[in-house]
Amino acid sequence: MPNSFGKIFTVTTWGESHGGAVGVVVDGCPPRLPLETPEIQAELDRRRPGQSDLVTPRQEEDKVEILSGVFEGRTTGAPISLLVRNTDARPGAYDEMKEKFRPSHADFTYQAKFGIRDHRGGGRSSARETIGRVAAGAIAKKVLHVAGGVEIRAFVTRVHDLEAPPPDHFPTLEEVEASSVRCPDAATAARMIERIKAVRAEGDSVGGLIECRVRGVPAGLGEPVFDRLEADLAKAMLSLPATKGFEIGSGFSGTLLKGSEHNDLFENREGQVRTRTNRSGGVQGGISNGEEICFRVAFKPTATLLRRQETVDVHGQPAELMGRGRHDPCVLPRAVPIVEAMAALVLVDHWMRHAAQCGTFKF
Amino acid sequence: MPNSFGKIFTVTTWGESHGGAVGVVVDGCPPRLPLETPEIQAELDRRRPGQSDLVTPRQEEDKVEILSGVFEGRTTGAPISLLVRNTDARPGAYDEMKEKFRPSHADFTYQAKFGIRDHRGGGRSSARETIGRVAAGAIAKKVLHVAGGVEIRAFVTRVHDLEAPPPDHFPTLEEVEASSVRCPDAATAARMIERIKAVRAEGDSVGGLIECRVRGVPAGLGEPVFDRLEADLAKAMLSLPATKGFEIGSGFSGTLLKGSEHNDLFENREGQVRTRTNRSGGVQGGISNGEEICFRVAFKPTATLLRRQETVDVHGQPAELMGRGRHDPCVLPRAVPIVEAMAALVLVDHWMRHAAQCGTFKF
Amino acid sequence: MPNSFGKIFTVTTWGESHGGAVGVVVDGCPPRLPLETPEIQAELDRRRPGQSDLVTPRQEEDKVEILSGVFEGRTTGAPISLLVRNTDARPGAYDEMKEKFRPSHADFTYQAKFGIRDHRGGGRSSARETIGRVAAGAIAKKVLHVAGGVEIRAFVTRVHDLEAPPPDHFPTLEEVEASSVRCPDAATAARMIERIKAVRAEGDSVGGLIECRVRGVPAGLGEPVFDRLEADLAKAMLSLPATKGFEIGSGFSGTLLKGSEHNDLFENREGQVRTRTNRSGGVQGGISNGEEICFRVAFKPTATLLRRQETVDVHGQPAELMGRGRHDPCVLPRAVPIVEAMAALVLVDHWMRHAAQCGTFKF
Amino acid sequence: MPNSFGKIFTVTTWGESHGGAVGVVVDGCPPRLPLETPEIQAELDRRRPGQSDLVTPRQEEDKVEILSGVFEGRTTGAPISLLVRNTDARPGAYDEMKEKFRPSHADFTYQAKFGIRDHRGGGRSSARETIGRVAAGAIAKKVLHVAGGVEIRAFVTRVHDLEAPPPDHFPTLEEVEASSVRCPDAATAARMIERIKAVRAEGDSVGGLIECRVRGVPAGLGEPVFDRLEADLAKAMLSLPATKGFEIGSGFSGTLLKGSEHNDLFENREGQVRTRTNRSGGVQGGISNGEEICFRVAFKPTATLLRRQETVDVHGQPAELMGRGRHDPCVLPRAVPIVEAMAALVLVDHWMRHAAQCGTFKF
């Protein structure tokens, strides 16, 4: 099931950029969760195009419809089907891509794999696929929030070479949303916005880093071996378009420390086993330890450029391609709610799996 | 199935450090593959303790036994059960861990999750769990090699701050195995070995980076959305003990480039669609593009230290712990075959999945 | 994923009787399959209400919309999302069921399981859920037909105690569709129709048997142990509403034979290994043997009766319930295409699984 | 994963009749369950050959070894690996099967599927594969019994045409074990034993029916659609060698009733919603309703006959085969603990799944 994610709380996304609609089916959702359309819409609005002058001007409301699984304002335990119609499709804008492979895009590999390809707007590789993830993630976030007080906060921490200082507190949603670039450090945010605009003016693009923190997760989520919490988070993040790397806790820079510098010593804090430092990033031995979960995701610069690039066509002949269509010169601002959504999906699924094995029968 | 990996070529590992044995069941292996015990043993020998003066002196032959699924030197398509007895268990050496949580180990989180814990040698969190992975990976590597001429080569590229220059060719197995640290650059290898010995003398530990390259993978493996090839590689790598990060292709440093610098332009080389550069790391849109697959994995310094550390005991009381037992001051040399094994498992599984969807029926 | 079926060719159904719509997502479909809406619609028309005077008069066109996964008349390998709007919902007709548990329905168990229940038309337990199965099955049937010439034919073989003689040939679609009861034996069909009408006049209901035959399946599909072909067929059939039993080949009556009477002797027929008899029903050791696959499914009488029944209400108090709403006095005629759909889903999935393990790599 | 069963409590069996051993890995078992080897051994002893004069004289102790997942007499939550060595293998006895396909056996289909076949004792198709199921089932039974007071009782209800009267109470284990044929009705049991011996004397074989009842299962286990409790039970039972049919509750004979005769009316009994009759067999809408679960499984007569049979050889040439080796003239007595094991596996898995979705988060 290549288009499904999660073992118990399972989401299946479907839809292409220029098909009739995109959507998601959420299967295994706990029953009786209060759920209204606006809660899902709010998350989609954070991801939708046209929300600021930094992102693609594609004009779509991305209005979500709940088709099943909710009755009188509560989930029933039946699969929840969510649908968003595609309304601003401009297939003609992509005619050139029918014949030419865009560099660093999925055009060539889709053709190689499937022997057929919906070239309009990238088809299935379009960022519109993430609408389903965000809609499902909104439900997962609500489950985590209502049931466990869990808070998930992603934010842009670097654009190109402009890096924000590490936040000295758990950033609030307001701080993140204060700037269109979703960097909670206002000064850096301003420079990031300037950079993105400058790069866009050149028809170019930039990438950067998103950091995600999660607090309120109890100790015990995750599995010792293959389904380690960080392994599933890594998969979730690398499953997003344009990602090239993942690190948790001390990450790549932690490899420069000695063990004596890196270990998180345990202490008793207010009656609880806690660690003094958090180089583990909230996960030890694959399992959450109750500390803040902290990871970072690397996004490459957007592949679509509004400038001429050399490539080959579907017959293998040299060709030139002039980027058209609507695109984001930097995907990070809109990727923030998507990172949160994927983190929420991983956590809810592990929470339920943990409960199944360790909470069902008491011996 | 938290102890299983792969959807079609599925491996399930089992066993603890000080239980009767460790092992793996490989389900879904193609039939008729020639397979003899020594081929699996050879990979286990690369991972086993006591193989050099850099690694834990635990003395175990790790002799593998094929219990099923192979008949007259060929696989039958039935599950292959592989078993390695634990012979050098020293449970007494771990008595202290019964009462105290080792910093940055899985002791506390296992206790928090399961309410019970086999403290001897870390139980399930022991590196001995990876025996099953390496044994299964040996089969996967053989499938890939025999059927597709695929070569997988991992090597140590950084220990602590000692980084080898990027290899100018696909390193040979001989080059990698030439040094006990498994870095193909001889000069750097010598300095790495020195550093590891120095750190061990202090009772301390170091981490670093392993790079893995794969050549011969055809275009078309991987999935567009959740099961992207890089997503499954990331999960595979982050499922290994002591890993903190994963990056593919340009990775984290690629985020410092602009799109115009980062894009891999297509060209026709000898009749094939190829990319001029390989910042994509062999994967585009989640699917292999026929170029070399290239990724790196960050390993933290070993958590077990042969020095005194503060911690708490199982009752939450402050305690001191003096590392004992046998351990590696740097896990990277022995992790090299494990990284290869996991890469092989991901690739075989995706190869078979691809064939199932795109190769079974022709329209 | 309780609402998904199949490991490689995976279908996920969603939707309730009186929600906005019902639908299905088909994931893993082979690419390049020619597929048009009318092909799916044709199967839905066989299942829809109001098609004859034997079935529920609920008036719905059940018009299917393909929302994704098909481009220029061919599947792309992306998930196929199919949607059917609910247009003749009459929620008011079910007010009584809000408070009372209908005997032998899912009302009580849904309430016990989920603590909440969409009582309108049975919610998720409605036969409308099978729309998604039939739509997905239409695709599976097409794959099997185009690629392998496989034919699947289900038909009603008994209603109440009226049993048709075993057909002396593989019934044609025309023979099955000739009568509204979908029994290919015209004489028996006439008596069955009469019986169903008589029973309906009493406000009562009847059940019976559906037989399904499949020809053209090559030897080799199915697995030796848990995922035997007959096991997955049994699961598929028992997953249908109102089913109480499954048998393959000689089935229950085969238990009255001795081994010497029951064994299917092999012979060489036109250069192929064939069996003289087919008590195995086309499956031996869990795997298809190339003979006709033949199984039967028992359907209980419809639980909804248009007469007074004793029951309890949601507070556990004694109550009386007078069946209202629209229902089929005998579900079998409309279940025929559903049985075919489920058989097709099982076979496509096993075909692809078989190819993955045994056809991808050649040794 | 064709050799795995269950989604959360997952068992993976491995091993062939004449390989080194057979075994099972149980993944996802709840932690802290008290578990000792003799509890598992006791169930294996009920299934082992040579236990009475009705069954195959193959002399094997089937001594089980717990290799992992249990520490100081309790499960740890890690995978439990169980192994039984094959000790009475007589490969020479099967030389003839190397060249000839036994009628109604898996020889031909395995060859057709895999292109290779371990012919010794049937290889993977041997009843020895069920050792792993019974061992895993012993753990599942213990979980159900300790945690929920659930009792599972299978028994032989018909051999050939000799049918026992329906028991007027839930049969005790002692009643079932009182006769070597495991029919709790002593008079019928005696006739069954006589019949089996007579048939064996002819070199022939017989089949029959096993009934299984489960009490103590709470309302709420099972899923509304594909993973209905009866669907998973049907799959579990049809996954057993030699089974040809499954029915639950009223089953096939229920199809002869009208709805007004078949419906189970609800009533309030001692403060609980109960049904007056139990034609549903304890499951409604795919979900347990708290009544006794009751189903029956049809086993065909053993395919191996100690008499001459016509067949073809691996080259498709006509051949004669004279049954040799050790076999059971009637598999039912030894199948009783296997049916119980599979029922236990289904129930534990569904219990844990139910808890995950409906018991983890409370709204």
B75, B69 Cβ separation under 8 angstroms? yes
- Could you tell me which chain B residue has the CA closest to the CA of D9? B1
Pairwise CB contact (< 8 Å): B361 & C146: yes
Quick one: tokens of A2? 């290549």
Check whether A242 has a pLDDT greater than 70: yes
In chain B, residues with a C-beta closer than 8 Å to the C-beta of D81 are 14-15, 21, 23
In chain C, residues with a C-beta closer than 8 Å to the C-beta of A71 are 16, 116-118, 123
Direct distance between the N- and C-terminal alpha carbons of chain B, in angstroms, rounded to an integer: 35
Residues of chain B contacting D, Cβ within 8 Å = 1-4, 7, 10, 12-16, 19-23, 25, 27-28, 31-32, 65-69, 71, 74-81, 83, 113-118, 123-124
Task: Quick: pLDDT tens for B214-223.
Answer: 999 999 999 9
**What is the pTM (predicted TM-score) of this model?**
0.97
C295, C247 Cβ separation under 8 angstroms? yes
Core vs surface per residue B340-351: b (16+ CB within 10 A) or e: bbbbbbbbbbbb
Q: Which of B243, B165, B156, B160 is nearest to B195 (CA)?
A: B160
The residues facing A208 across adjacent strands are A159, A299
B133, B344 Cβ separation under 8 angstroms? no
In chain C, residues with a C-beta closer than 8 Å to the C-beta of D290 are 112
Check whether A90 has a pLDDT greater than 80: no
Three state DSSP letters for D189-249: HHHHHHHHHHHHHCCCCECEEEEEEEECCCCCCECCCCCCHHHHHHHHHHCCCCEEEEEEC
In chain A, residues with a C-beta closer than 8 Å to the C-beta of C27 are 1-4, 12, 14
Q: Which of B4, B15, B80 sits opposite D68 (nearest CB)?
A: B15
**CA distance, residue C348 to nearest chain B CA (Å):** 10
Residue A170 and residue B240: Cα distance in Å, rounded?
29
pLDDT band at A53 (very low <50, low <70, confident <90, very high): confident
DSSP secondary structure string for all residues of B50-78: TSSTTS--------EEE-SSEETTEE-SS
HSE-up (13 A, CA, CB side) for residue D76: 28
Q: Among the residues of chain C, which ranges form H helices?
A: 37-47, 95-99, 107-114, 130-148, 173-177, 186-201, 229-238, 259-262, 332-354
DSSP secondary structure string for all residues of B238-258: HTSTTEEEEEETTGGGGGGSB
- Could you tell me which chain C residue has the CA closest to the CA of A124? C78
In chain D, residues with a C-beta closer than 8 Å to the C-beta of B21 are 67-68, 81
Pairwise CB contact (< 8 Å): B14 & D69: yes
Share of chain D above pLDDT 70, in %: 98
Q: Which of A32, A69, A116 sits opposite C32 (nearest CB)?
A: A116
In chain C, residues with a C-beta closer than 8 Å to the C-beta of B360 are 30, 147, 351-352, 355-356, 359
Pairwise CB contact (< 8 Å): D16 & B66: no
Q: What's the pLDDT at A89?
A: 67
In chain B, residues with a C-beta closer than 8 Å to the C-beta of D353 are none
Phi-psi label, residue B32: left if phi above 0, alpha if psi -120 to 50, beta otherwise: left
C229, C288 Cβ separation under 8 angstroms? yes
Residue B242 and residue D85: Cα distance in Å, rounded?
36
Core vs surface per residue C269-299: b (16+ CB within 10 A) or e: eeeebbbeebbbbbbbbbbbbbbbbbbbbbb
**CA distance, residue D72 to nearest chain C CA (Å):** 32
**CA distance, residue C348 to nearest chain A CA (Å):** 14
Environment class of residue B54 by beta-carbon count within 10 Å: exposed (0-12), middle (13-18) or buried (19+)?
buried
D204, C258 Cβ separation under 8 angstroms? yes
D279, D254 Cβ separation under 8 angstroms? yes
Helices C332-354, C130-148: inter-axial angle, 10-degree rounding: 50
Check whether B148 has a pLDDT greater than 90: no
**CA distance, residue B81 to nearest chain A CA (Å):** 18
- Could you tell me which chain B residue has the CA closest to the CA of A329? B259
Residue A164 and residue A152: Cα distance in Å, rounded?
19
Q: Is B268 helix (H, G, I), strand (E, B) or coil?
A: strand
B interface test, pick of A244, A289, A314 with most B CB neighbours within 10 Å: A244
**CA distance, residue C111 to nearest chain D CA (Å):** 8
Q: Which residue has the higher pLDDT, B63 or A57?
A: B63
Residues of chain D contacting B, Cβ within 8 Å = 1-4, 7, 10, 12-16, 19-23, 25, 27-28, 31-32, 65-69, 71, 74-81, 83, 113-118, 123-124
Q: Which of B14, B28, B114 sits opposite D79 (nearest CB)?
A: B14
Q: Which of A222, A256, A318 sits opposite B161 (nearest CB)?
A: A256
Which amino acid would we find at residue D305?
A: L
Q: Is A346 helix (H, G, I), strand (E, B) or coil?
A: helix
Q: Is A359 helix (H, G, I), strand (E, B) or coil?
A: helix
Q: Which of C3, C67, C117 sits opposite A15 (nearest CB)?
A: C67
Pairwise CB contact (< 8 Å): C251 & D258: no
Pairwise CB contact (< 8 Å): D76 & B4: no
DSSP secondary structure string for all residues of C50-118: TSSTTS--------EEE-SSEETTEE-SSPEEEEEE--S--GGGGHHHHHBPPTTSSHHHHHHHHS---
The residues facing A84 across adjacent strands are A22, A64
All chains having 3 or more CB pairs closer than 8 angstroms to chain D: A, B, C
pLDDT band at A54 (very low <50, low <70, confident <90, very high): confident
pLDDT band at A325 (very low <50, low <70, confident <90, very high): low
Environment class of residue B96 by beta-carbon count within 10 Å: exposed (0-12), middle (13-18) or buried (19+)?
middle
- Could you tell me which chain B residue has the CA closest to the CA of A300? B255
D133, C309 Cβ separation under 8 angstroms? no
**CA distance, residue A356 to nearest chain D CA (Å):** 5
pLDDT band at B1 (very low <50, low <70, confident <90, very high): confident
**CA distance, residue B31 to nearest chain C CA (Å):** 6
Cα pseudo-dihedral C247, C253, C257, C262, rounded to 10: -40
Residue D30 and residue D351: Cα distance in Å, rounded?
12
Check whether C88 has a pLDDT greater than 80: no
Task: Quick: pLDDT tens for C32-59.
Answer: 999 999 999 999 999 998 888 887 776 7
C226, C193 Cβ separation under 8 angstroms? no
Check whether B58 has a pLDDT greater than 80: no
**CA distance, residue C38 to nearest chain A CA (Å):** 17
Check whether B351 has a pLDDT greater than 80: yes
D interface test, pick of A12, A146, A360, A362 with most D CB neighbours within 10 Å: A360
All chains having 3 or more CB pairs closer than 8 angstroms to chain C: A, B, D
Task: Quick: pLDDT tens for C10-33.
Answer: 999 999 999 999 999 999 999 999
Complete domains list, chain A, with CATH = 4-359 (3.60.150.10)
- Could you tell me which chain B residue has the CA closest to the CA of D8? B1
Chains B and D: how many Cβ contacts under 8 Å? 153
The residues facing A151 across adjacent strands are A215
In chain D, residues with a C-beta closer than 8 Å to the C-beta of C293 are none
Q: What's the pLDDT at D83?
A: 98
pLDDT band at C136 (very low <50, low <70, confident <90, very high): very high
In chain D, residues with a C-beta closer than 8 Å to the C-beta of B12 are 4, 12, 25, 27, 79
Pairwise CB contact (< 8 Å): C310 & D265: yes
C interface test, pick of D1, D26, D111, D113 with most C CB neighbours within 10 Å: D113
Sign of the C-alpha dihedral, residues D159, D165, D166, D169? negative
Residues of chain C contacting A, Cβ within 8 Å = 1-4, 7, 10, 12-16, 19-23, 25, 27-28, 31-32, 65-69, 71, 74-81, 83, 113-118, 123-124
pLDDT per residue of chain D (363 residues) written in tens, 0 to 9: 899 999 999 999 999 999 999 999 999 999 999 999 999 999 999 999 888 888 777 677 899 999 999 999 999 999 999 999 998 767 677 788 899 999 999 999 999 999 999 999 889 999 999 999 999 999 999 999 998 899 999 999 999 999 999 999 999 999 999 999 999 999 999 999 999 999 999 999 999 999 999 999 999 999 999 999 999 999 999 999 999 999 999 999 999 999 999 999 999 999 999 999 999 999 999 999 999 999 999 999 999 999 999 999 999 999 999 877 667 899 999 999 999 999 999 999 999 999 999 999 988
**CA distance, residue B97 to nearest chain D CA (Å):** 15
Check whether B159 has a pLDDT greater than 70: yes
Average pLDDT over residues C79-84: 98
Q: What's the pLDDT at B89?
A: 67
Q: What's the pLDDT at B256?
A: 98
Q: Is B325 helix (H, G, I), strand (E, B) or coil?
A: coil
